[in-house]
Amino acid sequence: MTLSTPLLAAAPLLAGLIGPALLGAAPARQQADPSAVVPAHTVKRSDIVEHVAARSAADHRRVLDYWTPERMAKALPIGLLDIVTDVTGGGDLLSGVTGGAGVRTTPEVTGRKADLALPRKLMGSHHLAAARPDTSTIGSRWITGGQVARTTGRVFLTVAGADFVCSASTVNSANKDVVVTAGHCVKDGAGEWAANWTFVPGYGTNGLRPYGQYTARRMFVAGPWSRSGDDNYDVGMVALATSHGRHVADVVGTQKIAFNGGRGGQAFGFGYPADPPYDGDHLVYCAGRLKNDPYGQTRDQGLGCDMTAGASGGPWMTGFDTASGKGTITSLSSFKYSDDQRTMYGPYFGDAVKALFDTAQHA
């Protein structure tokens, strides 16, 4: 099968750069033959790849100073990760920076491309804020508040001189510093690590940075992601530095995280989509029943969701209580197929993700 090149609204800016969704520019990323992929539950605890993001107080200060409100406003949403159904050889993983014209997605298994240049139709009033959270929505403003409004935030990062945004969430960890996001929001598969990485919890709630911002000190991804960008392992864990001497968990709280849970069931997904019809300034949620990848390309599960680029890495929670805003993170926003803009897919949290988390929480 011939790989396709995604529509690039920002192609002149980043043509030829890195990244499975870490960047959104350039040739579609490759997906290993599913028959050759190591099952996600068999990765060894030792197969974790680490990056030291900052070594000194001066390093953290430099990152904090870098992210002015103006830079944050201009940062581009990282395109959603893509899936390709064949193997064509080596090379870094690249994905689409969209910057305002549709969502970065993948070619479907039949090879027919979705025409992402066409404006997508809004589905009734589902983009409006609901007074009471729905248990089934493909995209609504979250205005109920609660814990999730503090623990979910935006990630700002730089790759090859260009600035981008993703989503992430704090998790209950031993060191009180861990956030979980997509692997492609941390490392470009077999390519480079992100720089200037900072997390802003509760972004846009009563001010753009109501709880401050937290720079990365150490980053972690699973070996299969670092070596080949295997979509089953599109998860990144980041240990943050303290802010004014306080751990992020002590400031905004955390969500629980669980592994090897049952498949299917009800889930709520959260994030900060930044491509139209969204603007990145508001927390958005999707809710519904999970389903398996219908193409069998991954062990991921799908959630009905029309969130766009910028939502990558946002948490999916089961057992979510809409009153308190608390739940248990069991996946996150990773990719879409181009023939189905209404379904987001997220990796299954098995032993490999548990090993990743255990390493990060003791960093």
> In the block, which residue shows the tokens 């019809």?
277
More confident residue, 251 or 116: 251
**What are the structural domains, with CATH classification, of the chain?**
48-81+134-361 (2.40.10.10)
More confident residue, 13 or 286: 286
Asked whether residue 127 carries a pLDDT value surpassing 90, the answer given is no
- DSSP code at position 235: -
Report pLDDT for 79.
Answer: 66
Written as six digits, the tokens of 82 are 């893509």
Angle (nearest 5°) at CA 357 between 356 and 361: 125
Q: What is the pLDDT of residues 297-315, one digit of tens each?
A: 999 999 999 999 999 999 9
pLDDT one-digit tens code per residue, 37-81: 344 445 555 699 999 999 999 999 999 999 999 999 999 987 654
Phi, psi of 113 (to 5 degrees): -95, 140
Rounded-to-integer distance, Cα 205 and Cα 279, Å: 14
pLDDT above 70 (res 122) = no
Residue 84 has pLDDT above 90, yes or no: no
Q: What would the mean pLDDT of 107-118 be, rounded to a whole number?
A: 27
pLDDT of 151-163, one tens digit each?
Answer: 999 999 998 889 9
27 pLDDT band, cuts 50/70/90, is very low
- β-pairing, 326-332 vs 256-257, is parallel
Which region, left, alpha or beta, applies to residue 139 given φ > 0 means left and ψ of -120 to 50 means alpha?
A: left
Residue 14: the pLDDT is 33
Cβ atoms < 10 Å from Cβ of 288? 19
> What average pLDDT does the chain have?
78
Give the β-pairing of 48-52 and 335-337: unpaired
Buried b (16+ CB within 10 A) or exposed e, 315-341: bbbbebebeebbbbbbbbbbbbbbbbb
Spatial distance between the Cα atoms of 103 and 277, rounded to a whole number of angstroms: 10
Residue 296 has pLDDT above 60, yes or no: yes
Q: What is the pLDDT of residues 320-330, one digit of tens each?
A: 999 999 999 99
The pLDDT assigned to 40 comes to: 47
Give the per-residue pLDDT at 314: 98
Q: Pairing state of beta strands 301-304 and 214-222? A: unpaired
Element containing residue 154 per DSSP (H, E): strand 152-159
pLDDT at 353 over 90: yes
Q: What Rg value do the Cα atoms of the chain yield, rounded?
A: 18
Indicate if the pLDDT at residue 167 is higher than 70.
yes
pLDDT above 60 (res 102): no
**pLDDT at position 358 over 90:** yes
| Nearest Cα residue to 338 out of 109, 119, 20, 123 | 109
Judged against a pLDDT cut of 50, whether residue 363 lies above it is answered with yes
**What residues form DSSP beta bridges with 157?**
164
Residue with the two structure tokens 């926003």: 333
Residue 39: CB partners within 8 Å, gap ≥ 6? 299
pLDDT bin (cut points 50, 70, 90) of residue 208 is confident
**Residue in this structure with the two tokens 């861990």, named with its chain if needed:** 178
